[in-house]
Amino acid sequence: MSLLVAAIYTIVVLAQFPSVDNAFALAYVCGVLSTLIGADLTNLGAIKKIGAQVASIGGAGTFDGVFLSGIIAVLLA
């Protein structure tokens, strides 16, 4: 799911800003935002099912996704 969000988000950003000068920054921003949107925001509906009064988004998997998107952005760009 997160990879699909990353691809869609990158396409939308590139359509809005076709002459991006810094590909490193664009790759990193798209990778981080797609990880946060795909892993956290799409699961907000599950909070009602859990029944907890306090819920925390993020965690080790999200951190790994953000960290790896930064490394992959540097390697690809």
- Report pLDDT for 28: 80
Tell me the residue range of the domain where 19 lies: 2-76
Say what the pLDDT of residue 21 is.
75
**What confidence score (pLDDT) does residue 60 get?**
72
**pTM confidence score:** 0.59
* Residue whose structure tokens are 């981080």: 32
Domains held by the chain: number = 1
Which tens digit of pLDDT belongs to each residue from 9-64? 777 877 787 776 777 777 788 778 777 777 777 777 777 788 777 776 666 776 77
CA distance 74 to 1: 22
At 1 the pLDDT is 61
Q: What is the pLDDT of residue 5?
A: 66
- How far CA 60 is from CA of 7, 56, 65, 70, in Å, comes to 22, 12, 9, 15
